[in-house]
């Protein structure tokens, strides 16, 4: 690894080779990974004998090529031992690009800690979190936001060691604090409230994700996990969580304080990455001020983590277009759903095809306790963040409507016609004014729908190669 870092440092700028084939300089061997982007091969450089990962990316669309070029531009800036390194790049000039990357063979961090031969302790968790923070600190020092921090993007360097690497900069963005940046992509369990609310993101957006990762690592529980992505996002918005589970009984107050200072709803109030590295929980590692219980095995957390990894591996694991989920939320979410332009310019193309739901049986493996769910319901009602997945959270004014929503999928057409709400048996109740649904709001909804259809039509025309000149001449 040290040799690779020195080579990359000496050859700082990685230019795309358009006149050479990757096979001219590298010997490709077995496939080590697949994804929506393409295929990853193990390869060996002919001149040095160094082993790398060759990531082939399909670039059939101009947007795909721009995404890869942006990712390369960011990776050139991020030369740090905690970050995945870019070594070389090729472009065949047709429909495929190849990135030569550092080969990481240790697997995902969470899969490493659940191995039988790994003893999970609070001290080990703190060591992992310190390394993650070091990588994020370097990114932030270069004014780069990762924006997709999650377990699968934290890899172990080897199968037996404890050194980690942060990977996947496909959604990373250069950040200028003077220019607001809004995004509508991410992984619902780990995304920050400002992303869901389509508010400007910042350095604190990555720090929120670090807080969620730390919570999961220490307990094996997901702090905001719901039965669907829609419910998960509403939990994120209210930022309601606790440490009441038995998995936290043996966790120190310093560790809980570290999480508390990251999982704060207002991003400006969260710890900055420099502050996180100076936190007593992290500092205690190097100073040797760890209580004995921090070296005790976290058996309950490890069992929970096994369940988490199983559920995570069986559910959709890629980032999604959050706008496709946001529209299903009430309250503040609906008021923001009309603004989609930033996603068109900032989100990774194709993410809208991702699944926006999680299998309910699998998601229950790591969800909150009943008491936490009850508090979330109350908090959502206070803040006006309601979810259709649990219609019983609506007010008593809509009992009959709620009943129809809850059972409509089970009713046969004839039974639906006999429903009390349809037949008008609750006529007196139905004549009450509906405070949350008036004509002005309905009009805004219709306008938004028309605007969205028009926008999608323009996008489709642009992808077909249309220009204003061609449209005027009718030559498309």
The number of angstroms, rounded, from the C-alpha of 46 to the middle of its chain's C-alpha atoms is 37
Instruction: Return d(Cα 155, Cα 163) in angstroms, integer.
Output: 9
Instruction: Return d(Cα 231, Cα 195) in angstroms, integer.
Output: 15
Do 109 and 294 touch, CB atoms closer than 8 A?
Answer: no
Long-range CB contact pairs, 188-192, < 8 A, 24+: 188/229, 188/232, 188/233, 188/236, 188/320, 188/322, 188/325, 189/150, 189/222, 189/224, 189/225, 189/232, 190/149, 190/150, 191/233, 191/236, 191/322, 192/236, 192/267
Give yes or no: 148 in active site: yes
- Region of residue 52 (phi > 0: left; psi between -120 and 50: alpha; otherwise: beta): beta
Beta strands in 38-182 (DSSP E): 38-45, 51-58, 86-91, 96-102, 144-145, 154-156, 164-166, 173-174
Alpha-carbon Rg of the chain, whole angstroms?
Answer: 25
Nearest to 380 by CA among 426, 337, 330: 330
Buried b (16+ CB within 10 A) or exposed e, 239-259: bbbebebebbebbbebbbebb
Q: Is 36 labeled as ligand-binding?
A: no
Do 209 and 149 touch, CB atoms closer than 8 A?
Answer: yes
H-helix or E-strand containing 30? strand 26-34
Instruction: Return d(Cα 1, Cα 81) in angstroms, integer.
Output: 9
Do 92 and 20 touch, CB atoms closer than 8 A?
Answer: no
**Which SS3 state, helix, strand or coil, does residue 145 take?**
strand
The number of angstroms, rounded, from the C-alpha of 415 to the middle of its chain's C-alpha atoms is 42
Q: Please list, in sequence order, all residues whose beta carbon lies within 8 angstroms of the beta carbon of residue 367, skipping any fewer than 6 positions away.
A: 222, 225, 226, 227, 373
Instruction: Return d(Cα 6, Cα 377) in angstroms, integer.
Output: 54
Nearest to 140 by CA among 186, 78, 82: 78
> What is the bridge-based pairing of β-strands 51-58 and 320-321?
unpaired
Exactly one of 67, 88, 91, 148 is catalytic; name it.
Answer: 148
Q: Which amino acids are annotated as binding site for ATP, given as ranges?
A: 55
Residues designated catalytic? 148
């Amino acid at each position: 690894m040290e040799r690779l870092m020195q080579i990359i440092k000496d050859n700082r700028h990685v230019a795309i080779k358009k006149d050479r084939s990757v096979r001219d300089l590298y010997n490709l061997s077995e496939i080590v990974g697949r994804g929506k982007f393409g295929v990853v091969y193990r390869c060996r450089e002919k001149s040095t004998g160094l082993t790398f990962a060759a990531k082939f990316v399909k670039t059939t669309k101009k947007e795909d090529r721009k995404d890869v070029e942006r990712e390369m531009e960011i990776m050139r800036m991020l030369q740090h031992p905690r970050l995945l390194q870019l070594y070389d790049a090729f472009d065949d000039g047709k429909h495929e690009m190849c990135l030569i990357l550092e080969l990481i063979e240790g697997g995902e961090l969470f899969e490493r800690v659940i191995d039988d031969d790994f003893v999970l302790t609070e001290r080990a968790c703190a060591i992992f979190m310190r390394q993650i923070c070091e990588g994020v600190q370097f990114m932030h020092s270069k004014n780069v936001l990762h924006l997709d921090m999650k377990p699968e993007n934290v890899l172990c360097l080897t199968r037996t060691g404890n050194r980690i690497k942060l990977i996947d900069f496909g959604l990373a963005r250069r950040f200028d604090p003077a220019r607001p940046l809004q995004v509508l992509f991410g992984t619902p369990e780990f995304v920050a409230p400002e992303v869901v609310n389509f508010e400007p993101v910042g350095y604190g957006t990555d720090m929120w994700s670090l807080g969620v990762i730390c919570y999961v690592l220490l307990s094996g529980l997901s702090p905001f996990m719901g039965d669907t992505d829609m419910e998960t996002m509403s939990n994120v918005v209210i930022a309601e969580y606790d440490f009441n589970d038995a998995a936290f009984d043996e966790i120190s107050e310093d560790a809980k304080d570290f999480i508390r200072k990251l999982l704060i709803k207002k991003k400006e109030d969260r710890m900055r990455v420099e502050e996180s590295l100076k936190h007593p929980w992290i500092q205690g590692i190097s100073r040797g001020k760890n209580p004995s219980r921090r070296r005790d095995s976290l058996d309950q957390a490890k069992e929970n983590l096994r369940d988490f990894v199983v559920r995570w591996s069986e559910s959709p694991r890629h980032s999604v277009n959050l706008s496709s989920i946001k529209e299903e939320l009430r309250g503040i979410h609906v008021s923001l759903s009309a603004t989609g332009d930033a996603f068109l310019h900032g989100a990774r193309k194709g993410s809208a095809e991702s699944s926006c739901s999680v299998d309910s049986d699998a998601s229950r493996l790591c969800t909150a306790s009943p008491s936490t769910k009850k508090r979330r319901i109350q908090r959502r009602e206070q803040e006006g963040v309601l979810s259709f997945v649990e219609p019983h959270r609506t007010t008593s004014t809509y009992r009959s409507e709620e009943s129809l929503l809850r059972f409509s999928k089970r009713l046969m057409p004839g039974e639906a016609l006999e429903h009390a709400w349809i037949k008008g048996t609750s006529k007196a109740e139905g004549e009450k004014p509906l405070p949350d649904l008036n004509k002005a709001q309905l009009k805004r909804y219709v306008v938004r729908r028309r605007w969205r259809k028009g926008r999608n039509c323009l996008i489709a025309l642009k992808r077909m190669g249309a220009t204003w000149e061609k449209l005027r001449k009718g030559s498309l």
